[in-house]
Structure 1
């Protein structure tokens, strides 16, 4: 379990993390989300004892990370996969890490096999691709077979097979009863992986809830309808108190589910070409919640013709 209480970090006059509190429970994957500059990396660094909090605390299974005599046996972490000596082989890097934490050397080959790197274990890591470096970083995180795993952007640089592998791995770790804390900017992947979400913006907690509750609260679903009698259908639905919006030749309807909308239209003998329930995505909910917390907001692209 990871417990943050009033966790705060200031750099001069700038507050990077502003009194946040949350708990990451074992047995589930907890996603850690936020826009760039929200304070995610700073929070993870304080969790791992790399930054000292200005105030508050963050504990792992009731202890500070710095108090663990063999931390890799307690917390496995991936923050920066390329923080490696480029002249050292993958196997030697893991051997050195294992020796520093009293981990049996046989575990080195076990994790190399687990992450798919046995064939390149003797190669210098300076020649590794981004994806290979990520796999080695995950091997380091798993080296001590820890009960708590913290991964920051673990799928960065991985191909589709690798992304699916990380998804399966994290869910398997959680199913084993471990605490899994996962940060990623890939909303589609997070939606498939996380059970629970902690969302921060400008250093403060914006949401701490289950994935379904987060989506339901911060982005609305709607019914999409197409009809050759679009105007008549829209008028009918509005007369029945439904909110109807015409978007690029299709109707977006809120207030009823697809079945009841279809029955209402059908009773009037009007034709339908499409009737679909569009469920909101994690990305929709995230963008809605964090709109005011984005540090750098780009404008929409200007059409090429407008530049003439």
Structure 2
């Protein structure tokens, strides 16, 4: 379990984490989301004792990280896949970690196999691709067979097979009763992986809830509509208070009236329909709506603007 209580971290005049309280419980995968600069990495560093809170507390496995007698056996962490001595081989890196915690050498071979690294075990870390470096970081996190995992962007650099592997792995670890806490910017993947979600913005808690509830309670009723008569259909719907916008995959996404009501309107006015499908918002849609006011770094979308060229 990970517990944060009124956790606060200030750097000079900037507050990175602001009175944050949450609990990450065992038995589920908890996703950690927030815009760039929201305080996600800082929160994870505080949990792992790499930074000291200005106020409040955060405990992992019931203690502050610095109080754990053998941290690798309680907490597995991946914050930076490249934070490895480049001259060491993959196997030597893991062996060094294992021996520092009296973990048997055979466990190194086990995590090498689990992470798909056996074939590159004697390769130096500096020669690894980003995806292989991520796998090494995950192998190191698993080394002590910990009850808690804290992973910052674990799918970064992984190919399709690697992403499917880490998704299956994390779900299986949670099913064993472990605590799994991960951040990711890949919304579609996190939607498939996480059971719960914690969202922060500007260092403050915005949401802490079940993934399905997070999406469903914030999703307006929407219907995917395709018609050979788009102009009159859109005008008709908007005259009845509907919000009509293009769907990325073609057709219109209509919010307001139900699919049944749309079908009745089309029939009454003699308009043809090719598709009328109720749909819900994605995690990305709901997250973007929730965090819109908390985005600190926002592009203008206009590279020709003279002010941006100065």
Q: TM (normalized to structure 2)?
A: 0.90
1:296 to partner: Cα distance: 1.2
Trace 1:7-156 onto structure 2 (pairs within 5 A).
Answer: 7-156=7-156
C-alpha spacing 1:225/1:55, structure 2 compared with 1 (3 Å): same
* Structure-to-structure mapping, 1:218-229, within 5 angstroms: 218-229=218-229
Corresponding residue for residue 199 of structure 1: 199
Residue equivalent to 2:308:
none
Deviations 1:127-148 (A, max 9, x none): 1111111100000000000011
1:222 shift after superposition: 1.2
- 1:218–1:286 CA contact under 8 A, matched in 2: no
**Secondary structure of the residue that 1:288 maps to in structure 2?**
helix
The verdict on how the C-alpha distance between 1:246 and 1:156 changes in structure 2, with shifts beyond 3 A counting, is: closer
SS in 1 for 2:215: helix
State the Cα RMSD in Å. 2.3
> Where do 5+ consecutive residues of structure 1 fail to align?
304-308
Contact 1:86-1:125 within 8 A present in 2 as well: yes
How far apart are 1:227 and its partner, in Å? Answer: 3.0
Instruction: Say which is worse superposed, 275-284 or 142-151, in terms of deviation.
Output: 275-284
CA change 1:145–1:277 in 2 (3 A) is same
Alpha-carbon distance, 1:225 to partner: 2.2
1:163 alignment counterpart: 163
Q: Which whole-Å deviations, capped at 9, do the CAs of 1:45-81 have from their partners, x for residues lacking one?
A: 0100110101100112321111111000000000111
Alignment pair present for 1:215 and 2:215: yes
Kept in 1, the 8 Å contact 2:31–2:181? The answer is yes
Cα distance in 2 for residues equivalent to 1:74 and 1:8 = 24
79-88 or 137-146, which moves further after superposition? 79-88
How many residue pairs align between the two structures? 303
- Mapped partners of 2:53, 2:282: distance in 1: 34
Q: 1:246 to 1:92 in 2, by over 3 A?
A: closer
Judge conservation of contact 2:243–2:256 (CA < 8 Å) in 1.
no
Structure 2, unaligned stretches of length 5 or more? 305-310
Instruction: Tell me, yes or no, if the aligned pair for 2:216 and 2:280 is still in contact at 8 Å.
Output: no
Q: Distance in 2 between matches of 1:229 and 1:22?
A: 50
Is the aligned partner of 1:272 residue 2:273?
yes
How far apart, in 2, do the equivalents of 1:129 and 1:227 lie? 47
Shift of 1:101: 1.1
TM-score (norm 1): 0.91
| Cα distance between partner residues in 2 of 1:212 and 1:17 | 26
Cα separation, 2, equivalents of 1:92 and 1:244 = 59
Task: Give the structure 2 partner of residue 294 of structure 1.
Answer: 295
Residues 130-167 of structure 1 deviation map (CA, whole Å, 9 limit, x = unaligned): 11111000000000000111110111111111111111
Deviation of 1:119 (Å): 1.2
